[in-house]
Amino acid sequence: MHETALMYDILRTLEASAEENNIEEITELKLVIGSLSSILPDALRFAFDSFKGSPPLAKDAVLEIEERKPEALCKSCGCSFTIEDPWKFFCPQCGGADIKIDGGEELYIEYYKGRERTVDSKEN
Ligand SMILES: [Zn+2]
């Protein structure tokens, strides 16, 4: 399950970013994974839950995962389209298989929200 390792890295990244941005607690986290990556959203969720509390800053965070479909460009007719089915790499317009795929293997943090550490009496 490489999702565990991936989630570990994500949390480390978050931790560093939160520290930089003076965030003491993360409340929401959104990840984007490409539908062509071999990452399973459920396994990622499971890993997230098992890491909860370590680091503690994300223990109550709501995790949202979006699977993003890759965009493709047909080299034969030039039409661009979204690959809906990861097993069908054909141009819907001309049926050509000579296509350029853009994306689909990504994994990144789209955004996260958190509560800022209160410094002095600066609140909200
Ligand atoms: Zn085409």
Neighbours of ion ligand 1 (CB under 5 A): 74, 76-77, 91, 93-94, 96
Confidence at residue 86, expressed as pLDDT on a 0 to 100 scale: 73
The domain segmentation of the chain, as residue ranges, is 2-69+104-116
Q: What's the pLDDT tens digit per position in 96-123?
A: 999 999 899 999 999 999 999 886 655 5
Interval between CA 90 and ligand 1 midpoint (Å):
8
User: Which fold would CATH assign to domain 2-69+104-116?
Assistant: hypothetical protein PF0899 fold (3.30.2320)
Instruction: Give one DSSP letter per residue of the chain, joined into a string.
Output: -HHHHHHHHHHHHHHHHHHHTTEEEEEEEEEEEETTSS--HHHHHHHHHHHTTSSGGGTTPEEEEEEEPPEEEETTT--EEE--STT----TTT----EEEE-SS-EEEEEEEEEEPPBTTB--
Mean pLDDT, rounded, of the chain: 90
Q: What's the pLDDT tens digit per position in 22-81?
A: 999 999 999 999 999 989 999 999 999 998 777 788 888 999 999 999 999 999 999 999
